[in-house]
Amino acid sequence: MLIRTALAACCILVTATSAFADDGLLQEAKDLFEPIPVGAPEIEGNPATPEKIELGKMLYFESRLSESHTINCNSCHAIGQGGVDMLETSVGHRWQQGGRNAPTVLNSVFNTAQFWDGRAKDLEEQAGGPIINPMEMASSHEHAIEMLNKIPGYAAKFKAAFPDDSNPINVENMLKAIALFEATLITPHSPFDRFLRGEENAMTAEQKDGLRLFIDQGCASCHNGINIGGGMYQPFGVVEKPGADFLPPTDKGRFEVTKSVDDEYVYKVPTLRNIALTPPYFHTGKAWDLRQAVAVMGSTQLGADLSDEDVDKITAFLHALTGEQPQITYPVLPPSTVDTPRPKP
Amino acid sequence: MLIRTALAACCILVTATSAFADDGLLQEAKDLFEPIPVGAPEIEGNPATPEKIELGKMLYFESRLSESHTINCNSCHAIGQGGVDMLETSVGHRWQQGGRNAPTVLNSVFNTAQFWDGRAKDLEEQAGGPIINPMEMASSHEHAIEMLNKIPGYAAKFKAAFPDDSNPINVENMLKAIALFEATLITPHSPFDRFLRGEENAMTAEQKDGLRLFIDQGCASCHNGINIGGGMYQPFGVVEKPGADFLPPTDKGRFEVTKSVDDEYVYKVPTLRNIALTPPYFHTGKAWDLRQAVAVMGSTQLGADLSDEDVDKITAFLHALTGEQPQITYPVLPPSTVDTPRPKP
């Protein structure tokens, strides 16, 4: 049985490779991209255990980490909605609206850095940001830890997740647990990934045409690698600056982090994985139409005036980047007691 | 094996009954209360199917039913938090705060009516309320249906749930699906339910003392039946009116529904199931301490000045009302498209 399966897989691979021998599409794609693995990737210095992931899931859904007790990670990075909130910019503490569109949590473990401006080097650092951002969860790390210490049910959960720590409820462990859970939020088996693994018919003819254009027009020079993006920084408007709606002059992107003029209006190239699930687009969230976003990218980044037909094909290819969505059992959170700090809505 | 199990169950029952023969506690409890069943109860006129329940779960988590696309049923009735938001009153559209504490969705199918004032006769009627309440989700039923019609992924889900309807995406079906999902959110196997079924040691001695007091002091004259509450209306302050913090004069309770002076300051007796998971307490949410809530109930409803020891025992019994919490797989929602109406935060 094992041998038969292996042989079958081998045959599929051979067939697929031959089918694209004429224009080398599969080989070019393999050189540029990498499929999402099936299991969660390891995080250096933060080895995974089921207890740590379970704790991280609880914290991901834990609204009491916010000042008002109404906002949690999942509020803006909703697991059942492509890992986003489908808003232009998120609604945070006391209905303040954030400055940039919420990026997807899905596959974010594969990004070079986190946030649109890359100001967090990894998921652990990222997870600490929104908790203390006065526009978002508006708490402090000290208060978050006090809160977790005063919800009695968390003591055993942290102990199980970090058995060697004498005082396991601390900021570092909170962020490690959240990051490990987030690393499980990956979406393998998209049609494109199945194609990359040699399954010729996983993508439609139109999607393959779109991939050909995506490579030939130059999209793949930035949107490449395992996340088809997420691996570098680029100015928005390499060839031609977009209008102020898409690129308001007040937000200078990575410049805010590095203070280098070279980084003005520079952003992390976003992942295109599951992009069909995550409107609206761009850091402003002002593009609701994926076709429009493709056309704008063509003109601003590549100086290409893509035809409607080409936009359609590239958009069709982008739909092939939707993978299998995470199946998460909603966590049961421990109750507050009379000693738990109260919400301040 | 089957015979042995049956014999064992029989023995437990006999033992338990004998153990309480001296004061008849189990028999009195059986006369007053009823355990939660293991499977979801049927809803008349709304037969359950897996497809309808699955659709209902999606709609329960569907923020696009709110004007801002940020609020869904689970925002205020969080499944992993005892079915509530653990706020005094909920935070709704544009950060408006609701007038009354959000009741738990868990076991709500067993309530005589819904809302604190019983203004909805059942879950279907209830589910329609928050969607159109300008303080909560602030949408309209027409807009909700337009929204669902313009999220293409819902067409097949509604068709599968309501296969005989030619136009299945309508208000009635939306509410039926939500209600059916909510009917699955029940919490069987609490220590008290196991006790009721004859498992003598499912409750501690203190909890049994608390149950004895709960019956003898008169708590059970209102908090009885399957939901240990949820079955009748009573004035808050039968014997002695509580202070304005707990009973502000501006909210006249069921009077707002019936306009009958007899219903001034009358509320539905809330369920006490999972009460340890659902602080804060009362329709104002002003009591954060379950012990305080017990003491206030004693003085206002029964004219009883309960000793600290009695309050402790009754509170211990209330902790025995925490059942097994629902295990829900977080639903994957279909994406918006360029034609889907936009959020208005």
pLDDT in tens, B204-239: 999 999 999 999 999 999 999 999 999 999 999 999
Q: What is the pLDDT of residues A116-156, one digit of tens each?
A: 999 999 999 999 999 999 999 999 999 999 999 999 999 99
Closest CA to A90 of A108, A77, A102, A80: A102
Inter-chain residue contact B338 with A69, CB threshold 8 Å? no
pLDDT band (50, 70, 90) for residue B23: confident
Mutate to test the interface with B, among A58, A67, A86 (most CBs of B within 10 A): A86
Mutate to test the interface with A, among B330, B339, B342 (most CBs of A within 10 A): B330
Give pLDDT, residue B225.
98
Q: Above 70 in pLDDT, residue B305?
A: yes
Inter-chain residue contact A338 with B276, CB threshold 8 Å? no
CA distance A36 to A190: 9
Give pLDDT, residue A230.
98
Give pLDDT, residue A104.
98
- Number of neighbouring beta carbons within 10 Å of residue B1: 5
Closest-CA residue of A relative to B329 is A329
- The number of residues making up chain A comes to 345
* B278 part of contact set with chain A, CB < 8 Å: yes
Facing B91 at nearest CB: one of A288, A342, A345 = A345
Inter-chain residue contact B335 with A279, CB threshold 8 Å? yes
The nearest CA of chain A is from the CA of B297 a distance in Å of: 17
Catalytic residues of B, by residue number, are 136
The nearest CA of chain B is from the CA of A270 a distance in Å of: 19
Mutate to test the interface with B, among A184, A333, A339, A340 (most CBs of B within 10 A): A333
CA distances from B74 to A102, B83, B127, B331 (A): 21, 8, 12, 12
pTM equals: 0.93
- β-sheet bridge partners, residue A225: A33
Q: Above 70 in pLDDT, residue B328?
A: yes
Q: What is the pLDDT of residues B56-102, one digit of tens each?
A: 999 999 999 999 999 999 999 999 999 999 999 999 999 999 999 99
- β-sheet bridge partners, residue A233: A268
Q: Above 50 in pLDDT, residue B5?
A: no
Inter-chain residue contact B94 with A95, CB threshold 8 Å? yes
Catalytic (active site) residue A256: no
Facing B335 at nearest CB: one of A79, A277, A289 = A277
The nearest CA of chain A is from the CA of B169 a distance in Å of: 21
Per-residue H/E/C for chain A: CHHHHHHHHHHHHHHHHHHCCCCCHHHHHHHHECCCCCCCCCCCCCCCCHHHHHHHHHHHCCHHHCCCCCCCHHHHCEHHHCCECCCCCCECHHHCECCCCCCCCCCHHHCCCECCCCCECCHHHHHHHHHHCCCCCCCCHHHHHHHHHCCCHHHHHHHHHCCCCCCCCCHHHHHHHHHHHHHCCCCCCCHHHHHHCCCHHHCCHHHHHHHHHHHHCCHHHCCCECCCCCCCEEECCCCCCCCCCCCCCCCCECHHHHCCHHHCCEEECCCCCCHHHCCCECCCCCECCHHHHHHHHHHHHHCCCCCHHHHHHHHHHHHCCCCCCCCCECCCCCCCCCCCCCCCC
CA B307 to chain centre: 29
Inter-chain residue contact A345 with B87, CB threshold 8 Å? yes
Facing A327 at nearest CB: one of B88, B278, B329 = B329
Facing B330 at nearest CB: one of A68, A95, A328 = A328
Closest-CA residue of B relative to A293 is B338
* Total beta-carbon pairs less than 8 A apart between chain A and chain B: 106
Q: Above 60 in pLDDT, residue B189?
A: yes
Inter-chain residue contact A330 with B332, CB threshold 8 Å? no
Inter-chain residue contact A95 with B325, CB threshold 8 Å? no
Give pLDDT, residue A269.
98
Residues of B in contact with A343 (CB under 8 A): 86-88
The nearest CA of chain B is from the CA of A340 a distance in Å of: 10
Give pLDDT, residue A23.
74
Q: Above 90 in pLDDT, residue B330?
A: yes
Mean pLDDT of chain B: 94
Closest CA to B344 of B75, B69, B142: B69
pLDDT band (50, 70, 90) for residue B298: very high
CA distance A11 to A5: 10
Facing B288 at nearest CB: one of A328, A330, A338 = A338
pLDDT band (50, 70, 90) for residue B17: very low
Inter-chain residue contact A86 with B327, CB threshold 8 Å? no
Facing A332 at nearest CB: one of B68, B95, B325 = B325
| Sign for the pseudo-dihedral over CA of A303, A305, A308, A309 | negative
Determine which one of A136, A199, A240, A309 is catalytic: A136
Instruction: Note which residues in 56-95 of chain B have CB less than 8 A from chain A.
Output: 61, 63-64, 68-70, 75, 78-82, 85-88, 91, 94-95
Give pLDDT, residue A70.
98
The DSSP string of B70-112 is ---HHHHSBGGGTTB--SSS-B-GGG-B-SSPPPP-TTGGGSS
* A279 part of contact set with chain B, CB < 8 Å: yes
Residues of B in contact with A345 (CB under 8 A): 87, 91, 95, 97
Inter-chain residue contact B278 with A335, CB threshold 8 Å? yes
Average pLDDT (B286-297) is: 98
CA distance A5 to A2: 5
ipTM of the complex: 0.92
- Which positions of chain A have pLDDT values less than 70? 1-22
Give pLDDT, residue A10.
41
